[in-house]
Amino acid sequence: MQPIRLVRGFVTVGGWTLASRFLGFARDVMIAAFLGAGPVAQAFIVAFALPNMFRRFFAEGAFNMAFIPMFSKRLEDGDGARGFARDAMSGLTAVLIVFTLLGMALMPWLVLAMASGFAEDQRFDLAVLFGRIAFPYILLVSLTALLSGVLNAVGRFTAAAAAPVVLNVVLIVFIIAADRLHWDMGLTLTWSVPVAGIGQLALVWIAAARAGYGLVPRRPRLTPEMKRLVRIAGPALLAGGVVQINLLVGRQVASYFDRAVAWLYNADRLYQLPLGVVAIAIGVVLLPDLSRRLKAGDVAGGRASFSRATEFALAMTVPAAVALIVIPMPLIQVLFQRGAFTPADVSPTALAVAVYGAGLPAFVMQKVLQPLFFAREDTRRPFYYAVVAMVVNAAVAVGLAPFAGFIAAAMGTTLAGWAMVWLLMAGARGMGPAASFDERFRARAPRIVLASGAMGLCLFLAEMVMRDLFVMAGIKYLALIALICVGAVSYFAAGAVIGAFKLADFRSALRRG
């Protein structure tokens, strides 16, 4: 895959991910409007977080990080790729069926592990009920992710990238139905989760079958290839566990502050818009490409792919981070303040958005740097680095909570993200030229930062002038659109003038994407 085709792959996946994130954001705005930040909203957030937390192990996280390089190399060699994928799917299915049944049986303890502040509170019983309904989603979404990995490895990105759209469409439809038909909103939302999982799995299975990979699980076999897969995936699973501990620490801290679980969740969803679009696109496209290049001994091509991926990541996420830090208040006022989400919820949510925004480039850079290790089937060092990041997160979140309150959880997440990036960059230094940046990246990176700073100044001044408009019904949406346009125009204008990027680069990628 040539660098320009690599960027086109980012745009293809990023475009579908952008659609999914906007729909997901619309979903979360609707949830906030109907449920606010009260007990039902917090119970649903915890219940929905449980299968999504464990998917980091079995889905696009640890398992796929081990599976995709091995599958990609078999594709390159023409050596039993389909049989390997079927064996992997069979083993994963067996493990997940047992895990799902255990999770449903142990749901009260899982809820306590997620949010012990719910104990002896109406939120606890609700979260247990919702959790048992939603938890089978882990089985469905993990098989979806495995088939998506197969599709991505063979260069078919569209169906896999579109699968998350199904989740958000189904949830939005169920929310509207609950409102129109006067169903219980919390229960309806929760039942929509496994229904959406069935739709996602059906979409990617059909696409995989058309690509010649209509995999059907069979009796699991512990073949030599599966043993190797388990050995490689083991440290990645542990690293995924460390990441989930970070999330647990943050949610535990938040559960002891009234309404804070919902504040952090809504802030998280806002910064996930740019994070998901760029990070997922890079992770999906870059890992198979690097794996194939390493197998072919293409050092120059690997370096170019790594540099373009990092350049693309910075060009998209640094300005987004600056915007989240500079204008969080109008974003939350316009997008969330309605119905049960009151003005009292705006300021704490905006504060969390700004803190998460400071970590946005780090969260994306991790997705660029980790494939350098996973493509070499090195999952041990990322695990060690994740442990260090976990210690940083826990020390900040728990240590500062008595002084900073709920925002300590967001601070811990952001600082741990930057610690992880520093460790990954240090660890990649010994990998040779394929893991180093080329001259074009070294010239453009500081200019991207300067262009983002100029955009931040323009946003700050524009927000001061327009501040009163963001609370006026009927005008606030136009005001926010105008503010976003100020940011986009100032960033691309400054970037083009100082040479941070060429607008032709984006146009050429979009033609194919």
Residues in contact with 155: Cβ distance below 8 Å, sequence separation at least 6, in sequence order = 1
Return left, alpha or beta for 479; rule: phi > 0 is left, psi -120 to 50 is alpha, else beta. Answer: alpha
- By the 8 A CB rule, do 434 and 294 touch? yes
Evaluate if pTM is beyond 0.75: no
| 144 CB neighbour count, 10 Å cutoff | 28
Confidence at residue 513, expressed as pLDDT on a 0 to 100 scale? 41
Contacts of 377 (CB under 8 A, 6+ apart): 66, 69, 70, 232
pLDDT band of residue 237 (cuts 50, 70, 90) is: low
> And the tokens for 169?
């469409």
CB 39 within 8 A of CB 258: no
Domain span including residue 149: 3-512
Residue 8 near residue 512, CB atoms below 8 Å: yes
d(CA 32, CA 263): 10
pLDDT for residue 57 is more than 60: yes
**Would you state the pLDDT for residue 1?**
46
The model's pLDDT over 45-54, given as tens digits with 9 standing for 90+, comes to 889 888 887 7
Q: What local confidence, expressed as pLDDT, does residue 369 receive?
A: 83
CA torsion sign, 387 to 107 to 97 to 141? negative
* Per-residue confidence (pLDDT) for residue 368, from 0 to 100: 79
- The answer to whether the beta carbons of residues 400 and 257 sit under 8 Å apart is no
Beta bridge partners of 341: 338
pLDDT 10s digits, 255-303: 788 888 888 888 887 877 777 666 666 655 555 666 666 666 677 777 7
Strand partners, 338: 341
Is residue 141 scored above 60 in pLDDT?
Answer: yes
Report the pLDDT value the prediction gives residue 376, as an integer from 0 to 100: 73
Cα separation, 411 vs 396, whole angstroms: 7
Length of the chain: 513
Amino acid at 262: A
Contact 157, 12 (CB under 8 A): yes
Q: What is the mean pLDDT of residues 145-168?
A: 81
Give the integer Cα–Cα distance in Å for 288 and 273.
24
Q: Is the pLDDT of residue 510 over 50?
A: no
Is 30 within 8 Å of 172 (Cβ atoms)? Answer: yes
Over 70: is that where the pLDDT of 23 sits?
yes
Residue 288: per-residue pLDDT = 61
Q: Is the pLDDT of residue 493 over 90?
A: yes
pLDDT score recorded for residue 58: 62
Residue that the structure tokens 């992770």 belong to: 283
Statement: residue 11 has pLDDT above 80: no
Cβ neighbours around 227 below 10 Å, total: 10
CA separation (Å) from 449 to 119, 218, 318, 443, 446? 46, 52, 7, 11, 5
Query: Is the distance from CB of 322 to CB of 456 less than 8 angstroms?
Result: yes
Among 335, 213, 365, CA closest to 270 = 335
Measured distance CA(171)–CA(238) in Å, rounded: 31
Whole-angstrom distance, CA of residue 65 vs CA of residue 379: 8
Structural domains of the chain, count: 1
List pLDDT tens digits, range 321-368.
999 999 999 999 988 888 778 888 999 999 999 999 999 998 888 877
The rounded distance, in Å, linking the Cα atoms of 305 and 437 is: 10
Averaged confidence pLDDT in the chain:
82
pLDDT tens digit sequence for 438-467: 888 889 999 999 999 999 999 999 999 998
